[in-house]
Amino acid sequence: DAVFLFRMTLWLSPNYPNARYNLGGCYVRMGKMAEGKAALMKALAQDPNNLDIRFMLASADPSALSASQRPTTMPMSIVTGFFTSSADGYDLAEAANKYQAGKVMHDLLKPHVKETAPVILDLGCGSGIAARPWRSTASSIHGVDVTPAMAALANEATHEQKKLFDVVTVADARTLPAEFAAGTADAVLVVNMAQFVGDLAPIMKTAHAALKAGGVVAITTEPMKLTAGFGLLQETSRFGHTAMYVKQTANEAGLTLVHESPLQLYSGIPVAAYVFSKGSK
């Protein structure tokens, strides 16, 4: 229905703002990449500096853009738009999808956390699913999310009749929030968000800045079939990361690999999970 309406709009007004971008986006979501690319190429010609159009075009066909033009991160408007639209009923939807990130990430990370009452920083916290198992032992949990609607869910979340987060900050998780003191975290969670970020260097630097000596960061990524680097996955329009890239980026930020394994955040859908440490006590 949307494709029909956008095509009708363009028939009536060929230069109608955003119509070609929206039409191309519809085609990409339908898996019609050739049609999507054609519409998005015309949209980009109309608006050459539009990052949303570039991102969607790269999703349809990465070779359509030069290497210097290809996106290295998902535009913030797409991230916030998606999660704003998903906020209503988010937890129920994730439960229906058998999202088990809280338990599996807690089981993975807990043996590497040295403090019995750790300070937790959850970057890209969403509604707080990954943080919940930590509430019974954590001395404090600080959540950061760029989407106000998701941060509101986190701020209202409870676990075992306790308020889940001590502090929730609406901010870009690639930068350490001013409300969080550097060098105080025992564990940093970066769970199910790398695919929305792309370039992991800022996240790794933020994790390193947040952690105390001996602290650890857990991160999950969607694998991709490349020998190095990261890039957009055509089938999902999200970023995939090679293991080599993740480990190299962490190392450059001053973090040391202590664990690597496949993991299932959703039943039957494997991701790569890593734990990195900031030196030792």
Q: What is the pLDDT of residues 205-225, one digit of tens each?
A: 999 999 999 999 999 999 877
Q: Are 247 and 274 in contact (CB under 8 A)?
A: yes
Q: Which residue has the tokens 């535009």?
A: 75
Give the H/E segment covering residue 273.
strand 269-277
pLDDT tens for each residue of 64-87: 888 888 889 999 988 999 999 999
pLDDT tens for each residue of 147-167: 999 999 999 999 888 999 999
Question: SS3 for 203-257, per residue?
Answer: HHHHHHHHEEEEEEEEEEECCCCCCCCEEEECCCCEEEECHHHHHHHHHHCCCEE
CA angle 271, 24, 58 (to 5 degrees): 45
* Rounded distance between C-alpha atoms, residue 159 and residue 134, angstroms: 10
pLDDT tens for each residue of 222-232: 987 777 889 88
pLDDT tens for each residue of 238-269: 999 999 999 999 999 999 999 999 999 998 88
Q: Which residue has the tokens 């409870």?
A: 158
Please give the structure tokens belonging to residue 9.
Answer: 């709009």
Instruction: Name the E strands within the chain.
Output: 119-123, 140-145, 158-159, 162-163, 167-170, 185-190, 211-221, 230-233, 238-241, 256-266, 269-277
Angle formed by the axes of helices 33-46 and 51-60, to 10°?
A: 160
Mean pLDDT (the chain, rounded): 92
